[in-house]
Amino acid sequence: MILVTSAAGGVGRPLVRQLVADGHTVRAFVKNEDQARRSRADGASETVIGDLGRPGDLEHALSGARQIYHAAPTQLIDELPVAERLINAARGGRLDQIVFHSVIHPDIAELPHHRQKLEVENILRESGLPVTVLRPSHYMQNVLDFWDFFGAGLLPYPTSPEIPMGVVDVEDIAAAAANVLASPAEHIGKTYDLSTVELTRHDMARIWSRVLGHPMVAVRIPPQALENPLAAVAPFGSAIAKSLLSSRLRSLPHVLRGLVAAPNARGFRSWSPEAQDTYVQMMTYYDVHGLPAGNFDDLPKVLPRKPTDYEQFARRTAVAHGVATP
Superfamily (CATH H level) for 2-136: NAD(P)-binding Rossmann-like Domain (3.40.50.720)
Instruction: Mention every residue, 6+ apart, whose C-beta is less than 8 A from residue 313.
Output: 140, 141, 169
Could you report the average pLDDT of every consecutive run of 10 residues in the chain (326 residues)?
Answer: 95 96 96 95 96 92 94 88 92 87 94 91 94 97 93 93 97 97 95 98 97 94 82 77 79 81 77 87 93 96 96 96 83
188-224: buried (b, 16+ CB within 10 Å) or exposed (e) per residue?
Answer: beebbbbbbbbbbbebbbbbbbebbeeebbbbbbbbb
Q: What does the pLDDT read at residue 250? A: 80
The DSSP output letter for 167 is: E
| Interstrand relation of 165-168 and 197-199 (parallel, antiparallel or unpaired) | antiparallel
Q: What does the pLDDT read at residue 216? A: 95
Q: What does the pLDDT read at residue 132? A: 97
Q: What does the pLDDT read at residue 80? A: 92
Instruction: Mention every residue, 6+ apart, whose C-beta is less than 8 A from residue 273.
Output: none
* Calpha distance 90→63 (Å, rounded): 9
* Nearest in space to 139 (alpha carbons), one of 23, 275, 286, 2: 286
Instruction: Mention every residue, 6+ apart, whose C-beta is less than 8 A from residue 319.
Output: 325, 326
Query: What is the chain's length?
Result: 326
- Which class for 159: exposed (0-12), middle (13-18), buried (19 or more C-beta within 10 A)? buried
Q: What does the pLDDT read at residue 26? A: 97
- 193: enclosing H helix or E strand: strand 191-194
* Nearest in space to 24 (alpha carbons), one of 76, 83, 96: 96
Domain assignments of the chain as residue spans, ordered by start: 2-136, 140-167+197-291+309-326
Distance set, CA 209 to CA 213, 236, 300 (Å): 6, 19, 28
φ and ψ at 291, to 5 degrees? -145, 95
Total-model pTM:
0.93
φ and ψ at 69, to 5 degrees? -105, 110
Angle subtended by helix axes 12-21 and 33-42, to nearest 10:
30
* Calpha distance 188→183 (Å, rounded): 9
- 83: enclosing H helix or E strand: helix 80-91
Q: What does the pLDDT read at residue 241? A: 85
Q: Are 177 and 11 in contact (CB under 8 A)?
A: yes
Q: Are 160 and 287 in contact (CB under 8 A)?
A: yes
Which residues are bridge partners to 26 per DSSP? Answer: 2
- 41: enclosing H helix or E strand: helix 33-42
Angle subtended by helix axes 201-212 and 310-320, to nearest 10:
50
